[in-house]
Structure 1
Amino acid sequence: MSIIDISEVRPGSHVTLHYRLALEDGADIVSTFADKPATLLLGAGHLAPPLEDILLGLKVGHHSTFRLMPGQAFGPRNAEMLQWVSLATLRENAMIGENFSPGDLVEFNAPGGGRYAGVLKEVGETSALFDFNHPLAGQALAFEVKIIGIL
């Protein structure tokens, strides 16, 4: 019988940790430090792949903050992800009676099933401009982690 070494985070590990993702100016996006820790399965999409990659090789008790360059965690901003959508398409995707304002996150049905979302930037007479980039695309971020347990 062999003993599996689970002393460090590997692909497929269940990791219990506290984590904090913050903007470069220190504003929290998400943090578990004031609440109970999170348990994540690496590779299941709970964190963006670049954030999961940071966890690989870390050991129980590790606590540090990693600085991510603009675009490193959620990719660079892509100008082609700014798109005009006809108001007819917007109405097809809206809840009955829903009004949209710039800054709203609107979900759309994807061709072939599934959903995707964009942030409304402006509304014209016949179409609306949406930003389909991830909201954190192109941002410099801080990712603080404290590894509590690994299975």
Structure 2
Amino acid sequence: MSKTTVLRRGLGKATLVLGAGVLATAGFATPAGAAATSVSDTGGGCAAGSEQNGFRYDVCVSTGSGRVYSDTYLKSTGWQGSDCNVRITLTSNNGDVVSNNGTCSNTHLINLSAAKQSGRWYQSFIVVTVNGSVVNYSYSPVQYT
């Protein structure tokens, strides 16, 4: 089992544990100033991920109809090896996590959502693995509710 720690812009760190096709996340910290954020929605939107090993994804988070939504757009694809997978995860500062898997050929990964709770922040991120090795990770801006 291998373990990779990914530093995330001002939000602490995510520890990715890879083994037997399982990805686990932990170690999320509440962003500075989150408690002072108004109850109305702020932030969110899409972030253009950096190209890593030929892969580039735009990762998005938004709210509507009492839910928080996550989706991802494939912009470029690198070498896919014999086993290429994308895992998209929607997380919040209360530890709730919703995940879904896709293949590296999916151009638009959608259908992740969670009930929106006031006073929380949400963020979406993806991890791309080729033959069991992480080759790309990207994340959305933070959505405050």
Q: TM-score range by the shorter chain?
A: under 0.3
Structure with bigger strand share is 2
TM-score by length of 1: 0.24
Structure with bigger helix share is 1
Q: Which has the higher contact order (CA 8 A, sep 6+)?
A: 1
Please tell me whether Structure 1 or Structure 2 has the larger radius of gyration of its CA atoms. Answer: 1
